Amino acid sequence: MHLPPWFWLAAVVLISWGIVGLLQKLSTNHISAESSLIWLVVGFFLLQPLLYPGQALWTYSARSLTWALLSGVFNALGAWALFAAMRSGGKASIVSPFTALYPLVVVLIAPLLLHESISLLQGLGVVCALTAVVLLST
């Protein structure tokens, strides 16, 4: 078995975001979803001193810096839309598997935008992953 270089990094993502899923549940037992998001951003900022890049920050192109900033905007906007969907009467059992389909957007756009194509086998893996996430979110 040959593990791709990103495999262990993906494992770190799975474990940390997997624990987040549980804590999200525990936090919304005590406070509202909106307050949870506000305090989550406070948690993000606690890491900032460790991540501070110093002068190096200004060596990157304005374009890349804009993409990085927008990635944060869209991530938080998506989280807000998820809360709004649940608040406006969407059942969690429908909204959460539905919103888990975001990799589909990437699969559809990546070939056009990044000129990346996926093999038939990788495509099969993506279909299995999407099916898994939808079933797990029920």
Partner 1 sequence: MSTLAILKVKWFWYSILCVLSWGAWALLSKIGSNEIPAPTMQFIFTFGTLPVALALLVGRRFQLEKSPQGIFYAVANGVLSGIGGLAFFAAFRTGGNTSVITAATSLYPIITVALAVTILRERLTWLQIAGLGFAAAAFIIFSF
Within 39-98, the residues that bind partner 1 by CB under 8 A are 39-48, 50-53, 56-57, 60-61, 64-65, 67-82, 84-86, 88-90, 95, 98
Size of interface with partner 1, in residues (CB under 8 A): 110
Shortest distance, position 32 Cβ to partner 1, whole Å? 7
To which residue do tokens 């374009």 refer? 63
Give the per-residue SS3 of 72-92. HHHHHHHHHHHHHHHHCCCCH
Shortest distance, position 12 Cβ to partner 1, whole Å? 4
CA distance 131 to 123: 12
CA distance 113 to 109: 6
Angle (deg, nearest 10), helices 120-136 and 92-99: 160
Other residues' Cβ atoms within 10 Å of the Cβ of residue 20: 13
Shortest distance, position 9 Cβ to partner 1, whole Å? 4
Report 2-41 residues binding partner 1 (CB under 8 A): 2-7, 9-10, 12-32, 34-41
Shortest distance, position 120 Cβ to partner 1, whole Å? 10
Other residues' Cβ atoms within 10 Å of the Cβ of residue 100: 16
Report 119-138 residues binding partner 1 (CB under 8 A): 121-122, 124-126, 128-138
- Using the rule CB under 8 A, is 113 a contact of partner 1? yes
